[in-house]
Chain A
Amino acid sequence: MDRIDRLREEIARRESELADLKSQLAIAEAARTTPLEPKDDPSWPWPLRHDEYQRYGRQMVVPGFGLQAQLRLKRSSVLIVGAGGLGCPAAAYLAGAGIGTLGLVDADEVEASNLHRQIAHSTGREGMSKVLSAVTYLRDLNPTIRYKTHQEHLTPRNAQDIVSQYDLVLDCTDHPTSRYLISDICVLLSKPLVSASAFQTSGQLAVLNNPPGKGACYRCLFPKPPPPESVVGCGEGGIVGPVVGVMGVLQALEAIKLVVHGLLDKPAGDAEKVERPEQGQGQQRMLIFNAMGDGPSFRSVRLKGRRSGCLACSDESELTLDRLRTSIDYVQFCGVARPVDVLEPHERITAKEYDNVRSSGVPHLLLDVREREHFSIGSMPGAINVPISCFNRREELPEVAGKDGPIYVVCRLGNDSQLAVRKLRERGFDDGNRFVGDITGGVKAWRDTVDPRLPFL
C-alpha cells in the first residue's frame, strides 16, 4: 500500500507540474499563434477575428444575439467560485461561448468520487488541483479566451481582491458559509450573482443582486442559515450527476443572458452602450428543479426584491468591505455541527466489544439506523435496517416490537445512533433490565477496527 500511495503522490505531483507547463505553453502559443486583434490589424476591417466568426457563428445567428452579443461576451469577465459539479459544466459552456476572461476559484483536488458529475476533470488528473484540471479541459475546448486561476478558498480576506476583477459571479460552491460570503461580497461590489445548488435529485437557481442595489440577495431569501446538523453534503447525501449538471448549465445560460442583454455594460465610458433593454430586468425568480417523481419538473417562484431589514443589502445595512474582511465570522454565523453526545458511557460499546457480543452468541438485536441506500451498500452481519427518519416520524417499529434481548444501535459515525437510543427509551423499549445502547463511531468504526473489507460510504 505504501508503495502505491507513494506512486500516486509522485504521479499527482508530476501531473500537476505537467499541467502547469501545459498552461504556460498554451499561453505562449496563444500569444504567438492567435491572429492579431482586429483593432491592432489595420488590414482587417471586421470587429471580430476570422477564427471567432467560425467558432461562435452558430450562436451569433440566433435571433437576439448577433455581433453585438458576441462583442459583449468577449468584453466580459466571469468568476466561477467552485470547480465542482456546478462549476465544471458552467465553465465549459461559458468558455465555449467566448466569455473574454473566465476565472476559477477552488482549493480542492480532484478525487475519484468527483468524476461521475464534475465533467471537466478526468481519471488521469486525480490528485491535481481542481482549478488546474478544469483549465486543462477548458483550454482544450477553447484556447482563445483568457483563464485566471485562483487555487485557494474564497475567504473574507481575499474575496474583495478576487471578486473585484470580474463583472459577474457564479456561486458553484457547496456550503452555507461560502454562499453567504459570496452574496455579501457581490452586494458590496455591486456584482450580479448567479447562484445555484443541487442535492440528491433536486436543484435551485436564482439570479441575485440583479440589478445590483435592487434585486434580492441570498440573505433576503434565507436570512437564517439552516441548523448545522441538518447540512448534509453530497459526500453523505449523494447527488445524481445530470441533476447538478442541469443546474450548472442553467447558470451558464443565465450568465450569458445577463452579458448579452448588456446588463453588465458600464454606465459611463462605453461608446457602444445602448439603452439597457427591459428584457431580463423583469420579475426576479427562483427556479426549483425536481428530477424525480413522474417526470422532471421545474417550478418558478416569484421573488420580491430586497427584503427590508436585510443584513447585507437593505438601506439600514451596516455591512462594509472593511467589516466583511475583518470582523464577520461566517463559520460562526452558520454554526458548526457538534458531535452528538447524549448517551452515558455505560450506554455505549465499541465496535470491537460488539464483535465479542456477536461471537458469544447472545441473542440480541442490531439496528442499523442509516438510510436504506447506505445500508444497501454494506452492512454488519445480522443488522436490521430501521432508518433514523422512521424514528423521527414516530412510525411503528415492528422490527423491534416483541423482540427480546439487548438492543445495539449503529449508524454511520455514531451520532444518529445515540438519538435513536434516546427515542427507543422514550418509547419504552428499555423495559426491565434490557440493555439499549449504541456502537461508538458507527459502521465506520466497525470497518476501521473489525472488518476493513466492508463497503462503506
Chain B
Amino acid sequence: MTSVPKPPQGHFNVLYFASASSYTGKEHEALPAPLPLRTLFAELEAKYPGVKANVLDSCMVTVNLDYVDMSGDGAADAVVIQEADEVAIIPPVSSG
C-alpha cells in the first residue's frame, strides 16, 4: 500500500482496506473519472457482487484523506470524484 501507482489519465484510485481488500482481492485499483460519489458503491457492486451489503454499507469513506458522510442525508451527494483523486474504503476493524 505504500507505493500506490498514480492512476492513469482520466482515472482515480480507490484503496481497499481490511475486509474490503480481502473481498475484492485487491489493495487498490484505478477507475474512470469523473464519477459521482453516490454511484461508487453501485459501480463496485457490479464488479464485486455482494460487496455492498457485506462490506461497503458499514465502511467509512474518505476522498483525498477527508472523511465523507455516506449516510442517508450525508454530504456525499455533492461530491464528484475527479481525475487523480484518491478514495479510500475503510471498514471498521473491531478485533484487538
Please report the C-alpha to C-alpha distance between residue A413 and residue B51 in the assembled complex, in whole angstroms. 23
Asked whether, in the complex, the Cβ of B95 is within 8 Å of the Cβ of A222, the reply is no
Bitwise, B36-71 to A at CB < 8 A (1) or not (0) is 000000000000111001110110101001110101
Output the nearest chain A residue to B24 by Cβ-Cβ distance.
A393
Bitwise, A229-245 to B at CB < 8 A (1) or not (0) is 11111100101000010
B67 contacts which of A197, A299, A302 (Cβ < 8 Å)?
A302
The residues of B that contact A199 with a CB separation of less than 8 Å are 18, 93, 95
A399 to chain B, nearest CB (A): 17
Q: Does B84 contact A (CB under 8 A)?
A: no
The residues of B that contact A248 with a CB separation of less than 8 Å are 96
The residues of A that contact B57 with a CB separation of less than 8 Å are 224
In the complex with contacts A221-B60, A226-B58, A288-B90, A303-B67 CB distance below 8 A: yes
Asked whether, in the complex, the Cβ of A230 is within 8 Å of the Cβ of B55, the reply is yes
Bitwise, A79-90 to B at CB < 8 A (1) or not (0) is 000101111000
Please report the C-alpha to C-alpha distance between residue A176 and residue B91 in the assembled complex, in whole angstroms. 12
Q: Does B9 contact A (CB under 8 A)?
A: no
The residues of A that contact B55 with a CB separation of less than 8 Å are 226, 230
A120 to chain B, nearest CB (A): 14
Bitwise, B1-39 to A at CB < 8 A (1) or not (0) is 111000000000000011100111101000000000000
Please report the C-alpha to C-alpha distance between residue A244 and residue B53 in the assembled complex, in whole angstroms. 28
Please report the C-alpha to C-alpha distance between residue A110 and residue B91 in the assembled complex, in whole angstroms. 29
The residues of B that contact A86 with a CB separation of less than 8 Å are 96
In the complex with contacts A221-B60, A224-B58, A294-B3, A196-B96 CB distance below 8 A: yes
The residues of B that contact A87 with a CB separation of less than 8 Å are 96
A300 contacts which of B48, B50, B65, B71 (Cβ < 8 Å)?
B65
Asked whether, in the complex, the Cβ of B19 is within 8 Å of the Cβ of A226, the reply is yes
Interface of chain A residues 271 through 328 with chain B (CB within 8 A): 286, 288, 290, 293-297, 299-304, 307-309
Bitwise, A25-62 to B at CB < 8 A (1) or not (0) is 00000000000000000000000000000000000000
Interface of chain A residues 202 through 231 with chain B (CB within 8 A): 202-204, 221-227, 229-231
Asked whether, in the complex, the Cβ of B17 is within 8 Å of the Cβ of A393, the reply is no
Output the nearest chain A residue to B94 by Cβ-Cβ distance.
A176
The residues of A that contact B49 with a CB separation of less than 8 Å are 394
Categorize the interface residue count of chain A: 35 or more
In the complex with contacts A227-B58, A293-B2, A302-B67, A389-B96 CB distance below 8 A: no
In the complex with contacts A175-B94, A176-B92, A198-B96, A294-B2 CB distance below 8 A: yes
B93 contacts which of A202, A302, A308 (Cβ < 8 Å)?
A202
The residues of B that contact A203 with a CB separation of less than 8 Å are 93
B90 to chain A, nearest CB (A): 7
The residues of A that contact B50 with a CB separation of less than 8 Å are 392
The residues of A that contact B69 with a CB separation of less than 8 Å are 304, 307
The residues of B that contact A176 with a CB separation of less than 8 Å are 92, 94
Q: Does A247 contact B (CB under 8 A)?
A: yes
Please report the C-alpha to C-alpha distance between residue A285 and residue B38 in the assembled complex, in whole angstroms. 23
The residues of B that contact A247 with a CB separation of less than 8 Å are 96
In the complex with contacts A202-B17, A297-B1, A299-B65, A230-B54 CB distance below 8 A: yes
The residues of A that contact B88 with a CB separation of less than 8 Å are 299, 301
Please report the C-alpha to C-alpha distance between residue A368 and residue B49 in the assembled complex, in whole angstroms. 23
Please report the C-alpha to C-alpha distance between residue A204 and residue B93 in the assembled complex, in whole angstroms. 7
A101 to chain B, nearest CB (A): 22
The residues of B that contact A254 with a CB separation of less than 8 Å are none
A345 to chain B, nearest CB (A): 26
Output the nearest chain A residue to B51 by Cβ-Cβ distance.
A392
A47 to chain B, nearest CB (A): 36
Output the nearest chain A residue to B15 by Cβ-Cβ distance.
A299
The residues of B that contact A286 with a CB separation of less than 8 Å are 60, 67, 90
The residues of B that contact A227 with a CB separation of less than 8 Å are 53-54, 58
Q: Does A444 contact B (CB under 8 A)?
A: no
Output the nearest chain B residue to A284 by Cβ-Cβ distance.
B67
Output the nearest chain B residue to A239 by Cβ-Cβ distance.
B95
The residues of A that contact B22 with a CB separation of less than 8 Å are 389
Closest 8 CB pairs of A and B: A86-B96, A197-B93, A226-B58, A297-B2, A222-B92, A301-B62, A174-B95, A294-B2
9 further A-B pairs in the complex, CB-CB below 8 A; given A174-B96, A198-B93: A82-B96, A85-B96, A176-B94, A222-B92, A225-B58, A230-B19, A234-B96, A304-B69, A307-B74
Question: Footprint of A on B, CB under 8 Å?
Answer: 1-3, 17-19, 22-25, 27, 48-50, 53-55, 57-58, 60, 62, 65-67, 69, 71-74, 88, 90-96
Please list 12 pairs of residues, one from A and one from B, whose beta carbons are closer than 8 Å in the complex, sorted by A's number.
A87-B96, A172-B96, A204-B93, A222-B60, A227-B54, A230-B19, A290-B2, A293-B2, A293-B3, A307-B69, A392-B23, A393-B48
